[in-house]
Amino acid sequence: MIDLIPRYWYNIVPDLNRPLPPPLDPEDSDFSRIELLNRIIPKEVLRQQFTAERYVKIPDEVIELYSLAGRPTPLMRAKRLEELLDTPAKIYFKYEGATHSGSHKINTAIPQAYFAREEGVERVVTETGAGQWGTAVALSAALMKIKSTIFMVRVSYEQKPGRKTVMKLYGAEVYPSPSEITEYGKNELAKNSANPGSLGIAMSEAIEYVIKNDYRYLIGSVLEVVLLHQSIIGLEAIKQFEFIGEEPEVLIGCVGGGSNFAGFAYPFIGSKIGSRYIAVSSSEIKKFSKGVYEYDFPDSAGLLPMLKMITLGKDYVPPPIYSGGLRYHGLAPTLSLMIKDKIIEWMEFSEKETYSAAKLFANAQGIIPAPESAHAISAAIKIAKEAKEKNEKKIIAFNLSGHGLLDLSYYQKMEAK
């Protein structure tokens, strides 16, 4: 099986239609945020962030650990879902929930923790909302035999004790954010002691903690290097499609920062396979319908360089929908550019619609999807229904970015509605 794992990651930047606007410091800046990255991010990760190589070699140890963590993940056909929808379309999905951490996040956590350990870092630090990313970092650090600290958005910390337990089981230190551990957290608590937290705040705490202690920060999404590592999803899927002798026409993924969508779809775009690529967000967040394409900070504190991206503004506080992974203001720069240029389409679905899609999918295929991933399912169902109306034998493929077995409080709440 390990032979199915690609040996190179794919970087889309050399294949874009136009130049990617570079990261930059704001006009009134008295220090260089780009320089600061050297003290935040492991060197090799930073090098890969700014590379122009189309293919980047995956270290052997990372391939072994991909295998250990459950790669290659299965490409499955949702045959019973097709039947329930009575559609002539075929629906396939790549199941990233089959990894031990339960989502695609492990695909970048492993190499980032690996490069951190290679340069002698003793502790890696990050933030987590829903807990999928924190889990992946905790597991990767354990595999590398280094320590990890996770700042977890306070509402999730309280609502999702299961995630916290898993991270602690993997040896992570977990703090609810805002916390008393950092100045940023203390300030937020001073303003509002009942502050429920946000990804932006937790990210700012993690970065401050890293700078103060000379640890290294692992990035969960948005930056090109994360999309690069996630390309493992699409590269594997291309081989799997070749094996079964099919070619997908429509490729779909949900988006928070954009990493699982890009990881799945970019290799297909680069190989000129498929004719429609659809990124899906939430109609409660409205990233696509309300977001603007401009330079903005990826973190609330503004410690990272500005990126040109589709954004709702760094201080945007997303409504408390349960898809924690989609509650983020920005979007990866390459993805933003291709949305802007209409190479990639977008859709938005409400919490109610995605809940029905998740339930339908669970009953048809047996997998309980993460609420984030249910947005991709909603889009696949929509396209399959359109195919029925037009009587088209479309081949649809979506990325099922994670399972929802630790999102049961969400399902309970929706069940009760």
d(CA 228, CA 326) in angstroms, rounded, equals: 20
Residues 6+ apart with CB under 8 A from 109: 101, 133, 136, 137, 139, 140, 218
Is residue 309 a contact residue for other proteins (CB under 8 A)?
A: no
Q: How far is the CB of 48 from ligand PLP (least distance, A)?
A: 17
Q: Which of 27, 60, 86, 389 binds other proteins (CB under 8 A)?
A: 27
Residue 211 interacts with other proteins (CB under 8 A): yes or no: no
Q: Under rule CB under 8 A, how many of the chain's residues touch other proteins?
A: 31
Give the count of residues interacting with ligand PLP (CB under 6 A): 20
Least distance in angstroms from the C-beta of 66 to other proteins: 23
Quick one: which of 5, 9, 10, 23 contacts other proteins (CB under 8 A)? 23
Q: Does position 135 bind ligand PLP by CB under 6 A?
A: no
The rounded radius of gyration (Å) of the Cα atoms in the chain is 20
Candidate list 1, 18, 194, 244; residue touching other proteins; CB under 8 A: 18
118 binds other proteins (CB under 8 A): no
Q: Which stretch binds ligand PLP (CB under 6 A): 127-135, 147-155, 184-192, 352-360?
A: 127-135
Q: Which of residues 190-249 bind ligand PLP (CB under 6 A)?
A: 221
Distance from C-alpha of 189 to C-alpha of 191, rounded to nearest angstrom: 5
Binding partner of residue 276 among ligand PLP, other proteins, none, CB under 5 to 8 Å per kind? none
Q: Interface with other proteins includes 296 (CB under 8 A)?
A: no
**Is 293 a binder of other proteins (CB under 8 A)?**
no
Among residues 178, 177, 150, the alpha carbon closest in space to that of 164 is found at: 150
Q: Is 275 in the site for other proteins (CB under 8 A)?
A: no
Min separation Cβ 400 and ligand PLP, Å: 9
Question: Residue 167 or 254: which CB sits closer to ligand PLP?
Answer: 254
271 binds other proteins (CB under 8 A): no
402 binds ligand PLP (CB under 6 A): yes
User: For residue 201, which amino acid is it?
Assistant: I
User: Does residue 372 bind ligand PLP (CB under 6 A)?
Assistant: yes
Q: Judged by CB under 8 A, which of 14, 161, 319, 320 binds other proteins?
A: 14
Partnered with residue 254 across adjacent β-strands are 280
Give the C-alpha separation, 52 to 48, whole Å.
8
Q: Which of residues 324-343 bind ligand PLP (CB under 6 A)?
A: 325-326
23/324 with CB nearer ligand PLP: 324
186 scored as a contact of other proteins (CB under 8 A): no
Residues that bind ligand PLP (CB under 6 A): 103, 130, 132-133, 221, 254-261, 325-326, 370, 372-373, 401-402
Residues that bind other proteins (CB under 8 A): 13-25, 27, 29-32, 34-35, 37-38, 43-44, 46-47, 50-53, 305
